[in-house]
Structure 1
Amino acid sequence: MRTKFGAGLVGAMALVVATGAKADDCADLFAAATAQAKTPYDGTVTTVKKSGETTKNEVVVLGAKMYIQVAGAWQSMPYDAQGTADDMMAKAKTTKPTCQKVGSDTVNGEATTVFTEHAETPRGASDVRLWVSDSRHLPLKMEIHLPSGDVITQETHYDNVKAPAGVN
């Protein structure tokens, strides 16, 4: 069972992985998102609501578990890397995306290629900006502009990933 938070991340990543008008650039995004689904990581997810309200959550994906910290409390749930990748592909089929490489940047001192992706979803248009590591080919940062006006930013780390203390 996925929580609303976990399902939201899968849905957001589905916006990134679809193939579309710029097939080569979308293929690069798909490869990065698929690799991330199968790689241990931790990250900080910041949501800024249209109203200005801001929330921060932590996420750790390690093996067959996903850990999510919401309002200071850690929760664990089963995690299926292949299932997550399959979910992204299935959701991607419902969008009409365009993807573009728009430049280069650094995230935490690591060189990245920056992509944008625009998708038409059943809820409206969404725009994603994704920073993919040039050396690891994994997403380091993602910024999602949702039809609601909310903005979600995730910064991701792949080194020394550990389960949160005291959570099964």
Structure 2
Amino acid sequence: MQSLLLVCTANICRSPMAEAVFKAQAAALGLGRVASAGARASSRPQGMDARALAALSRRKYPVDKKWRSRRVEVDDYLRFDHILAMDQDNLQALRRQCPPEHQHKLRLLMDLVPDRLGQEVPDPYFGSAVGFENVLDLIELAVRSWSTARSGAR
């Protein structure tokens, strides 16, 4: 079973949404562990953004009510087989912190989708609820592409 860490900036919108969607499909995707973290998450754990929770709820994705944000830790590079960032800024932050022997684990989430290589999942935080629905659409697209992309991953 593979393990997956999903990373955004503060770990309150995109990455916890991705965590919920991947967890819902974990067994079918061959994932034993799915988690999320923020490249610049607050040292004080926070709950998920209410708009993210609402978008997940509308699509019937379960979310642990005790879920709290956390910052990426150095041990994460050892514990996870795949570490997927939501955007280039967070991918660069991960690359600066990641030991050289684990750099191969780092990619963008949308790199899972063949025709979306290099594309980002936009941060919906400063926008409307529609932005959260769009983010969820992109995450679901990446989840559907996981099995194919994983077979090509190193």
Work out whether the TM-score is over 0.5. Answer: no
Task: Report the TM-score when normalising by structure 1.
Answer: 0.29
Task: Report the TM-score when normalising by structure 2.
Answer: 0.31
